[in-house]
Structure 1
């Protein structure tokens, strides 16, 4: 792979005439980069597709090829891409429904808006995976019919389809009113009873771990129930019956539903598995009384998930902040706090609480500036990237807290070129700060040159437009291919160098 030319193909400053010259010599990798150019024209796309067949699918998905540009007989994958974008022709679907390649028929089955006769053809396909793919994306009417399909894999797909009518999903959970399934992927291939050995040594085996069938297709039925429980179209009262199910996976799927009755939430809150309790803790369906119970859970992850619940009472969140490692993140309840609540949080005696509100990026100037001079480094680190902070305040942060806030200061969108240069020279150096500088819009050449000395940041800095052209040209021969590619994609790469790189081919 020519990484320099791949980078050049993505360079936004590459003029149209050089794009044309690059198309004329492109291989599959270069063509892939060219196909994602925002300025690629229709005529260029047609030439590229004709030269490098592999690029045509990406071009079709990008809307750069039309139905008039494609022959479905010789370019079936491109035709499928246009059909997936609803830009193909109905007769293509009829042709592809008979394609000998199963994977193509599967892709066709996932397309929406197929002609009714094509749907009927796919519904009776000889490969059950094609039918299952159709069941996953089809209309409510066809999904209802497939719910009684003799193959359990098709029913599993119906259970995952959000267009399936609620009554049908409820029936799939229990089997009531539906004839028993006759086959599944397991008994299609193995004599029953059969249980798939997780460390299976057979190279030709693609059965999932835990797949089993004793004649009742139990593993597929279990998967179908899990899909139905996760499906938001399944009625809440139907899934509630699984609250005491012995299957951990089914209870876990249930805990994430946002429409659970309070009595179901109460039972899940005492589930033996912390993963179930954790998903419930983050679920907006959990009422305040239960949230307060979960706040005392012995598992740290449950309490951490509870802190991310958008409906957690603010007093409880501030309590959790002091006892649970939440991390430097903007919590939903903090993001929705009212102006009065923001002021109260910013004046909390607990620095962990002040750190949480400092994660907001829309604080009133007075609140922002007060947090910028906080005595706790964690609070200052959180507020440092907040827009609107003056250079003087940012420098004061550095003077008072040093390495603990360097990366945050470098991430501030208003950091000046001079400040970023000083941060780049900080002793001891801070690698996270280099990464922030390397992608900062205000980074100057001296600051970027310092970033180039760091092996990991070098790849990011090589693409920054403020690098001197001579340095960018030197990086085209760097030992690291990612640096070479980034340099070639740098919009400040001189036009003469771009032309010369293509001319050498």
Structure 2
């Protein structure tokens, strides 16, 4: 029942109803929402940990909000799925908080877990500390040792050497991909193989090999090699006039080019989605003069990359906040927790997409006066009126009938919505709207109880 998913996140949901919802056979859709709450009462936490159903315990293992000692109790869980979930850690959305690490004892238990799957997941978790990584890097199973290469930078030198000379070729391959920069000899085995595509964009390539890919009929090969920092200048010049616009864009983003050289390339910055920040700009985040220089570049992708730096000086933040490019302004707002209030409002009014909820939730987001958007022709502006404490209940009720679904959903969650309208929305054919109404903290507790009872009772023996 979709409304239970909304009810599961309702801040006014009593603990006794949470406990009744802990029946996966009747509330499977709602379970993850309840399990991830940051405000779970102690008795609910204990019920999650001691629940008879491994699915329930597994959901709770991914809760990033509970203390390390609490989640770590699941390291001895009899169900492989639960221990795997604990080792893997929460699957993060863009703006979700990082999970608390586990205890040392829990990491040690998981590093010696009888399941290869659990040990592999732990090896790839960025939270896993060096002592546990060392155990995993010398694991008797090659799959685990190969996964352990993920934490290459946190492993001591003698362990990295051992992995580089591992008896298993797949482990040596993984170690070579991570370690060839410090030990160039490791690159030889990779270059001698039939698959060098993983290093095309970053490793020093023999001239014949570089030529073969730079002049390949396959645009994906040219695309990969176009950003290789070791590529000879003549090949860079060839690729700067490539027939494929994506290849030309990659060339235009090379770090050694001057502004004039970038401008001479016929590139479209939005021909495809470029991941920002560019690695070579990210590596220079601490260089104030570099940030100043690239923050004024005519190439918008460079400015977008600079905007991702959370430690920019105030004067550069203010300049980028006035940038003509919406993506620059949005990235700046997303990556700066203290972004100016006027910038936050502007990017939201310009349509911040999936970032809107995070940005409007900032303590300094300017909410005063948002009631003026009640009659805006733009739905993403009309739904902002719920953020203004001066918006009247009458306006909230009127907008709960809005033609735009997103506006109706926003109003359904607002506690100023009259209860009669709230109850009507609970029965809405649109399940997302019904779920939003169920999440409304002004929903009477007796109605919450009825929602739970309507699902639980038919399923009881």
Classify the TM-score, shorter chain. 0.5 to 0.7
Pairwise CA distance, 1:417: 5.6
Report the counterpart of residue 159 of structure 2 in structure 1. 142
Tell me whether 1:470 sits opposite 2:387 in the alignment. no
Tell me whether 1:452 sits opposite 2:397 in the alignment. no
SS at 1:167 equivalent: coil
The CA distance in 2 between the partners of 1:463 and 1:439, in whole Å, is 12
Pairwise CA distance, 1:6: 1.8
TM-score norm. by structure 1 comes to 0.59
Q: Return closer, same or farther for 1:11/1:262 CA change in 2, 3 Å cut-off.
A: farther
Q: Return closer, same or farther for 1:503/1:135 CA change in 2, 3 Å cut-off.
A: same
Tell me whether 1:14 sits opposite 2:17 in the alignment. no
The CA distance in 1 between the partners of 2:272 and 2:452, in whole Å, is 57
Pairwise CA distance, 1:33: 1.2
- Does the aligned pair in 2 maintain the 1:67–1:89 contact within 8 Å? no
Report the counterpart of residue 40 of structure 1 in structure 2. 40
Tell me whether 1:70 sits opposite 2:74 in the alignment. yes
The CA distance in 1 between the partners of 2:272 and 2:81, in whole Å, is 48
The CA distance in 2 between the partners of 1:303 and 1:54, in whole Å, is 40
The CA distance in 2 between the partners of 1:460 and 1:53, in whole Å, is 35
Report the counterpart of residue 123 of structure 2 in structure 1. 109
Report the counterpart of residue 500 of structure 1 in structure 2. 450
Report the counterpart of residue 197 of structure 1 in structure 2. none
The CA distance in 1 between the partners of 2:368 and 2:150, in whole Å, is 50
For the pair shown, the structure with the greater C-alpha radius of gyration is 1
Pairwise CA distance, 1:278: 0.8
Cα deviation 1:119-148 (Å, max 9, x = unaligned) = 3663x42xx544432233342543433334
Report the counterpart of residue 182 of structure 2 in structure 1. 167
Tell me whether 1:28 sits opposite 2:45 in the alignment. no
Tell me whether 1:461 sits opposite 2:411 in the alignment. yes
**Where in structure 2 are the equivalents of 1:317-396 lying within 5 Å?**
356=325, 385-386=345-346
The CA distance in 1 between the partners of 2:117 and 2:369, in whole Å, is 54
- Does the aligned pair in 1 maintain the 2:393–2:417 contact within 8 Å? yes
Report the counterpart of residue 97 of structure 2 in structure 1. none
- Does the aligned pair in 2 maintain the 1:8–1:498 contact within 8 Å? yes
Query: Per chain length, whose mean CA-contact separation is higher, i.e. which structure has more relative contact order (CA < 8 Å, sep 6+)?
Result: 2
The CA distance in 1 between the partners of 2:6 and 2:73, in whole Å, is 28
Pairwise CA distance, 1:299: 5.6
TM-score norm. by structure 2 comes to 0.63
- Does the aligned pair in 1 maintain the 2:177–2:187 contact within 8 Å? no
Report the counterpart of residue 55 of structure 1 in structure 2. 56
Q: Return closer, same or farther for 1:94/1:453 CA change in 2, 3 Å cut-off.
A: closer
Report the counterpart of residue 398 of structure 1 in structure 2. none
Pairwise CA distance, 1:45: 1.7
Tell me whether 1:483 sits opposite 2:428 in the alignment. no
Pairwise CA distance, 1:40: 1.1
Pairwise CA distance, 1:66: 3.0
- Does the aligned pair in 2 maintain the 1:262–1:287 contact within 8 Å? no
The CA distance in 2 between the partners of 1:20 and 1:271, in whole Å, is 62
The CA distance in 1 between the partners of 2:151 and 2:180, in whole Å, is 13
SS at 1:502 equivalent: helix
Tell me whether 1:269 sits opposite 2:237 in the alignment. no
Pairwise CA distance, 1:118: 3.9
RMSD between aligned residues: 4.8
